[in-house]
């Protein structure tokens, strides 16, 4: 926030999850006192799929960390660094094309596979 273009920007939007360091009005006020041009935009509480860092960590977990068979921390650190460099070379924007209609169809499929609840008489 102290470097350009952020320092002279009229507004800088931070899209944040609901982590304890920036959740709640006191945290918002504390951050906005420090940076007057800061505008915090909180993601919905149960919307980790909107959080780009969580998406990256999910990819990292599936492609690098499973199975967890590293012989030591140095090997793990090297593997994480190598993946970061590789990902920066191949990464493309995520396609956001999941609609309300898609969600309704998904929920119908999930509901069809849920066991029917038996009510006790």
Quick: pLDDT tens for 77-116: 999 999 999 999 998 877 778 788 888 888 888 888 766 5
Kindly report whether the peptide bond that precedes residue 67 is cis, defined as omega within 30 degrees of 0: yes
**Span 47-63, mean pLDDT?**
80
pLDDT above 90 covers a percentage of the chain that reads 36
47's tokens: 């919307």
Give me the helix-helix angle, 73-90 and 52-60, nearest 10°: 120
Q: Would the pTM of this model clear 0.75, i.e. be above it?
A: no
């Amino acid at each position: 926030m102290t470097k350009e273009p952020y320092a002279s920007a009229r507004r800088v939007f931070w899209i944040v999850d609901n982590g304890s360091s920036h959740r709640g009005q006191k945290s918002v006020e504390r951050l906005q006192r420090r940076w007057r041009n800061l505008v915090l935009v909180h993601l919905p509480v149960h919307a980790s799929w909107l959080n780009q860092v969580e998406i990256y960590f999910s990819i990292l977990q599936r492609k690098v960390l499973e199975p967890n068979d590293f012989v030591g921390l140095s090997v793990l650190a090297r593997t994480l660094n190598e993946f970061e460099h590789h990902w920066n070379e191949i990464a493309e924007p995520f396609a956001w094309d999941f609609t309300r209609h898609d969600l309704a169809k998904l929920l119908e499929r999930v509901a069809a596979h849920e066991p029917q609840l038996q009510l006790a008489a």
